[in-house]
Amino acid sequence: MLTLQAILAIPVGLLAEGFVTMLADRMLTDTRLGLRSRCSECGVSLPLAETIPVLGWFRRGGSCRDCDASITVGDPIAEVVIAVLFVWVVLRYDQGDTLVVIPLILVVAGVALSVTDLTAYRLLDRLVFPTFWLSLLAMEMLSILKLERLEALLGAVGSAVGYSLFLFAFRFLKPAAMGSGDVKLAPVLGLHTGWVGTAFFDDTRTAFRLTFGALLAGMFVFLAFSLVVTTLRCFVSADILPDPLDDPDEATPLHRAAVPLGPGLIVGTWMVVLYPDAVLAVAP
């Protein structure tokens, strides 16, 4: 049953992702950072009424009133997704528990990074690295003040190293199959899966199992997503998720067309963070 904390998570989630997607958009276009919302095409400042998450997009009619530049529907979709995920996480973490801060960081960063990877095939360092250090700082504080076990943080760091080494080795063996951004994202995902294992199960071995399970789940999600995208590319005239690095004058075979890996890995990590028991039941 929804309670006050879960209901409050909806506007908080909308505001959080509205701010983060704005930053992600400016980082992708190398626009000057600031607190005022602006059109990414003409740079005009938006009035407060048009910056309200979801409702602002409808108020603008999906385009800028000054230059008529189209505003992607992905922005309000991302805001709705994160509001749903905020409620989901709050309910799964017994609502009042301060440990809920950790997965909420992953939710905000995960949606923002998925948006940039799906739209531009880029996992921005200016999003990935701050997420890692913010997560690490929050985990350190909670491991000392809440859990009174610094070992929880050490297990999370160990899992981050393990996840990173696996993806680094995979990229080294097959560099064309994975971008450097995915390798940089690995410590963030491993940190969060390891934290679940050590904070809630107090077991380093469980942390590594969850990390391995998240990696497997992420790969399966990526394969399923790739199959859907490839199928749509066969039957839809417009290119689905066009790769900005492809040569527009040279056709790319469908089996070689790129599909971003990051969102799949992020979803796999969310599965572990939300349902670690279910993952442990099937993970080796």
Q: Which helix (H) or strand (E) holds 254?
A: none
Give 128-156 pLDDT, tens digit per residue.
Answer: 999 999 999 999 999 888 888 888 898 89
Q: Which pLDDT score, from 0 to 100, does residue 187 have?
A: 94
Minimal CA–CA distance to 114: which of 138, 85, 93?
85
Q: What is the dihedral of CA 238, 217, 215, 113, to 10 degrees?
A: 40
Give 67-108 pLDDT, tens digit per residue.
Answer: 555 556 566 777 778 788 888 888 887 655 788 889 989 998
Six token digits for residue 212: 């391995």
DSSP 263: H
Q: How many CB atoms lie within 10 A of CB 176?
A: 8
Q: Which residues pair with 70 in a beta bridge?
A: 63
Residue-wise burial string across 241-262, b where 16 or more C-beta atoms lie within 10 A, e elsewhere: beeeeeeeeeeeeeeebbbbbb
Give Cβ neighbours of residue 191 (< 8 Å, ≥ 6 apart). Answer: 132, 135, 136, 139, 156, 157, 159, 160
Q: Which pLDDT score, from 0 to 100, does residue 45 have?
A: 57
